[in-house]
Amino acid sequence: MPITKDEVRHVAALARLQLDEAAVERMTGQLGIILEHIARMNRLATEDVEHTSHTLPAMGNVVREDVVHRGLDRDSALANAPAREGPFFKVPKVIEDQEA
Amino acid sequence: MTEAITAHELRDRVKRGDISAEEATRAALDRIEAVDGRLRAFLTVTPEAALDQARAVDAARRRGDRLGPLAGVPVAVKDNFCTEGVRTTCGSRILENFVPPYSGTAVRRLAEAGAVIIGKTNMDEFAMGSSNENSGFYPARNPWDLDRVPGGSSGGSAAAVAAGEAVVAFGSDTGGSVRQPASFCGVVGLKPTYGLVSRFGLVAFASSLDQIGPLTLDVTDSALALQAVAGHDPLDSTSARYDPPDYLAAIEGDVKGLRIGIPREYFGEGTEPAVEAAVRKAIEVLVGLGAKAEECSLPHTDHALSAYYIIAPAECSANLARYDGVRYGLRAAGAEDLADMYAKTRAQGFGAEVQRRIMLGTYALSSGYYDAYYLKAQKVRTLVRQDFERAFAKYDVLVAPTSPTVAFKLGERAENPLAMYLADVCTIPVNLAGLPGLSIPCGDDGGLPIGLQLIGRALDEATLLRTAHAYERAVGFTPRLAPADPAAGKGGRA
């Protein structure tokens, strides 16, 4: 088996995806089939091959003049927020209460 | 629209005053009203905004202003193009109510060219899929046979143009998502060279592969539509510093002496005989016009698929990390804390295929597997590029099928993700190498369209368009609209 159920649970945690047991089962089977096919590329010798991360010719870092541009105003940036409070995005509590 | 009219014809009629932009827009909206209930090519239609834009074009004409190259042409864009004030879902429940505060560069350039944006087309969720069945809302249908898929992921855009709901549509192509639906719906679909069209405002899937391209009724429209959006954009750091040529001028001219390579790996097992026959017949037409064709080899083609299904998911797992229920989109209710909110939101908001790809990509990038999968895939990507470099030392254009099959039935491949992936074998290598690819109609099998794919050197869209245009003229191609009728396709091909 190219990938185990425990590995699938671990990867789901990394990917911030809540999978129930049925989903873990299904995902393990499907990813296994796909990874088995992908493993065919291991037959190719690539020790001396450079990697390709993009295909643009002669592309270095792209920089621009450091000048001030007008960006989105705050209300536009917040307009799609599922929850907001004043000028902030509001999220569930992150930090535990100090005293119990 | 109930008769096929191309963008270049329509634009000329609008300029002459034979038809107003408003009339042309109403005709497209009427067609949507008449057929989209069954075709489902659109996720959002914007009639009021479209009619406003059309009236602005008509007012400009009355004033004697110079009209843009797409003046009055009804254009649809895939729902992963950000449109200011208009819902942009990416075909996903997670963005069901997302209204972008800005428009992307391609959309802005289209508006500047006088195009009338009539709506947002259906797609596989986050552009992941080859059939439109992964739409988070409802699958679009093939207008030649409503029981069949229009292809994907830009299936809604292809169906809309084929059925006359829009004169031009735009899509995005990461592994074939413009070319394959163009092939299935019998329209012209162009994936330009990586970097030629700005992706500012295109919702990212796999950033080293994604490219915007037009779907049109003929090759002249493809050149016209490409011209409107191509060229450097400082807002996209991967935009090529390149001045595009005059594509409309470039499509004229013949193909005498053109060297065509026919990659044998693109006619592999699973290629339908009717598809192979139509493609070979099209090559004969080009040879009849003075081109020289011979078989060639792109030996790493099979491995391209493996590399793609590591690289694209890896990039998607990073790009889709932003959908976390904080700044926009869905937020799941009833979470205990922040981490629980992320995990619940993403599980509820993403469909099965998107979750599969996120998992695959996260796995490939995770500690202990990075070298074995991601780095290996990037090296295989180099071998795929080198295959093309060697071929283009000898040939000007490579010609092959766009898809090994014609449009398949809804549900036929839904239970087998790998089979769906394998069917993209003819289009994926082109994205890995960053090259331009063009799909044009070259016949049909029992009424279902077949696509001919032309692959060119980087930034040599001109040669692709010229070759395709020569083919169109030689066969006397005239576009016709698909019926999008419940009776269509029945009793035809089994």
Is B260 inside a domain boundary? yes
User: B466, B250 in Cβ contact below 8 A?
Assistant: yes
User: B78, B169 in Cβ contact below 8 A?
Assistant: yes
Residues B102 and B201: their CA atoms lie apart, in Å, by: 8
Query: Would the CB atoms of B328 and A56 count as touching at under 8 Å?
Result: no
Q: Which pair of tokens denotes residue A70?
A: 């007008």
Q: Who's near B316: CB < 8 A, 6+ residues apart?
A: B126, B128, B205, B206, B354, B357, B358, B361
Residues B159 and B32: their CA atoms lie apart, in Å, by: 11
**The amino acid at B481:** L
Domain holding B142, by residue range, is 7-299+384-475
Is B287 inside a domain boundary? yes
Residues B186 and B177: their CA atoms lie apart, in Å, by: 14
Residues B151 and B171: their CA atoms lie apart, in Å, by: 12
User: B426, B451 in Cβ contact below 8 A?
Assistant: no
Q: Who's near A6: CB < 8 A, 6+ residues apart?
A: none
B362 contacts in chain A (CB < 8 Å): 11, 14-15
Q: Which pair of tokens denotes residue B375?
A: 């780095």
**The amino acid at A35:** L
Give the ranges where B113-189 is alpha helix by DSSP (H): 155-162, 179-185
Nearest to B198 by CA among B209, B212, B208: B212
**pLDDT on residue B494:** 40
Closest Cβ opposite residue B309 in set A34, A80, A82: A34
A44 contacts in chain B (CB < 8 Å): 300, 303, 380, 383
Query: Considering all CA atoms of chain B, what is the largest pairwise distance in Å, rounded to the nearest integer?
Result: 70
Question: In angstroms, what CA-CA distances link B294 with B8, B52, B186, B314, B403?
Answer: 35, 52, 26, 37, 20
**pLDDT on residue B269:** 87
Length reported for chain B: 494
Is B403 inside a domain boundary? yes
Query: Would the CB atoms of A15 and B379 count as touching at under 8 Å?
Result: no
User: B260, B471 in Cβ contact below 8 A?
Assistant: no
Give the Cβ contact number of residue B138 at 10 Å.
12
Distance from CA of B359 to the nearest CA of A (A): 6
Place of tokens 């009804």: B74
CATH number of A5-43: 1.10.20.60
Helix (H) or strand (E) holding B290: none
Q: Give the CA angle between residues B175, B180, B182 to the nearest 5°.
A: 135
Residues B163 and B62: their CA atoms lie apart, in Å, by: 31
Q: Report the SS3 class of residue B146.
A: coil
DSSP category for residue B375? I
Residues A13 and B132: their CA atoms lie apart, in Å, by: 29
CATH number at residue B129: 3.90.1300.10
What are the E-state strand segments in B217-282?
Answer: 259-263
User: Domain count of chain B?
Assistant: 1
Residue-wise pLDDT tens for chain A (100 aa)?
689 999 999 999 999 999 999 999 999 999 999 999 999 999 999 999 999 988 876 667 888 889 998 889 999 999 999 999 999 999 998 877 665 4
DSSP class per residue in B427-462: THHHHHHT--EEEEEEEEETTEEEEEEEE-STT-HH
User: B40, B85 in Cβ contact below 8 A?
Assistant: no
User: B226, B113 in Cβ contact below 8 A?
Assistant: no
Give the ranges where B265-395 is alpha helix by DSSP (H): 273-288, 301-319, 338-349, 352-365, 370, 376-394
Q: What are the residue boundaries of the structural domains of chain A, listed by start? A: 5-43
Active site residues of B: 78, 153, 177
Distance from CA of A98 to the nearest CA of B (A): 16
**The amino acid at B189:** G
**The amino acid at B369:** Y
B350 contacts in chain A (CB < 8 Å): 17
Is B337 inside a domain boundary? no
Split chain B (494 residues) into runs of 10 and give each run's mean pLDDT: 90 97 98 98 98 98 97 98 98 98 98 98 98 98 98 98 98 98 98 98 97 98 98 94 96 97 95 97 98 98 96 98 97 94 97 97 94 95 98 98 97 86 95 98 98 98 98 96 78 43
- Please give the radius of gyration of chain A, using alpha carbons only, rounded to the nearest integer: 23
Closest Cβ opposite residue A56 in set B194, B307, B341: B194
Q: Report the SS3 class of residue A39.
A: helix
Is B196 inside a domain boundary? yes
**pLDDT on residue A1:** 60
A40 contacts in chain B (CB < 8 Å): 302-303, 306
What's the ipTM?
0.93
DSSP category for residue B142? B
Residues B405 and B420: their CA atoms lie apart, in Å, by: 12
Q: Report the SS3 class of residue A18.
A: coil
User: B195, B232 in Cβ contact below 8 A?
Assistant: no
